[in-house]
Amino acid sequence: MAQQEFLYGIHSVAAVLESEPERVLDVMIAKGRSEERINDIVNAARNNGISVQFVHRKTLDEKSDGEQNQGVIARAKPARILDEADLDKIFKSVQSSPNTIPFFLVLDGVTDPHNLGACLRNADAAGVQAVIVPKDNAVGLTPVVRKVASGAAENVPLIQVTNLSRTLKHMQQQGVWVIGTAGEATQIIYECKIEGAVALVMGAEGKGMRRLTRETCDELIKLPMAGTVSSLNVSVATGICLFEIVRQRPRV
């Protein structure tokens, strides 16, 4: 595992300074940047005893591999990777809260960091308690993911599991209804009654869900497609499905 990583973008850096300042080694700011959001980051870093350097924009662009960095980069210790044991802890915590209904997002093999970042942002907005992905053949929490997620990656746990279908079966045994999205489904999401504990499963870009994942689902749904395109970007489809579930769920 790498000993350090670079986090970039105003929301991403501000979020890690708020949630895990102990991870941050130092912060680099583009010379000439002095707006309020940048100043807030500088103050947060200094309040936590973290060094702040003002550098040329070219230096930041080199460290962010050409991705938009908004003039701010944090050098940080890698975050701990969350696994099945962490998911069990989250589930028990949710179950013990009388005002919380379990709500999870499962991404079966999403490999594009921009898509994962957007899905995390959607999940955060919808009140999802954890996003679950397979360890293999899927993107994890890269700096690009954190940048696109705009702070959501520090708020919504990303759980990486060894065997996705086994994890789904374990969740089903604890009362979670697993809903998968598939083009071959006969039921449109707006016709589906969604109540109680639920996990929404979205397939990978292009290929959709793997066979074992699809067969594990309790129910398959699809979005109505009226135009000529056959599918939506996974992050767009995820947002639509999550907020239909939010619309149907009771306010507790």
146 and 187 both lie in a single domain: yes
Classified as helix, coil or strand, 113 is helix
147 and 240 both lie in a single domain: yes
Q: What is the DSSP string of 179-223?
A: EEE-TT-SSBGGG----SSEEEEEEBTTTBS-HHHHHH-SEEEB-
- Tell me whether strands 72-76 and 24-30 are parallel, antiparallel or unpaired: antiparallel
Long-range contacts of the stretch 62-71 (C-beta < 8 A, 24+):
63/6, 63/8, 63/28, 64/6, 64/8, 64/143, 67/8, 67/143, 67/144, 67/147, 68/8, 68/9, 68/147, 69/8, 69/9, 69/147, 70/8, 70/9, 70/10, 71/29, 71/30, 71/33, 71/38
92 and 180 both lie in a single domain: yes
Count: domains in the chain: 2
Secondary structure element (H or E) that encloses residue 106, with its range? strand 103-108
130 and 183 both lie in a single domain: yes
120 assigned binding-site residue: no
Nearest-10 Cα torsion for 120, 122, 125, 126: -110
110 and 49 both lie in a single domain: no
pTM (predicted TM-score): 0.90
150 and 68 both lie in a single domain: no
Classified as helix, coil or strand, 14 is helix
pLDDT by residue for the chain (252 residues), tens only, comes to: 567 889 999 999 999 999 999 999 999 999 988 889 999 999 999 999 999 999 999 999 988 887 889 999 999 999 899 999 999 999 999 988 888 899 999 999 999 999 999 999 999 999 999 999 999 999 999 989 999 999 999 999 999 999 999 999 999 999 999 999 988 888 999 999 998 999 999 998 778 899 999 999 999 999 987 776 767 899 999 999 999 999 998 765
94 and 169 both lie in a single domain: yes
123 and 191 both lie in a single domain: yes
Please say whether the beta carbons of 12 and 150 come within 8 A.
yes
164 assigned binding-site residue: no
194 and 239 both lie in a single domain: yes
Classified as helix, coil or strand, 155 is coil
Three-point CA angle 213, 214, 219, nearest 5°: 120
Supply 184's token pair. Answer: 């071959």
113's CB contacts (< 8 A; 6+ apart) are 139, 142, 144, 145, 148
Find the domain containing 32 and state its range: 5-76
71 assigned binding-site residue: no
99 and 151 both lie in a single domain: yes
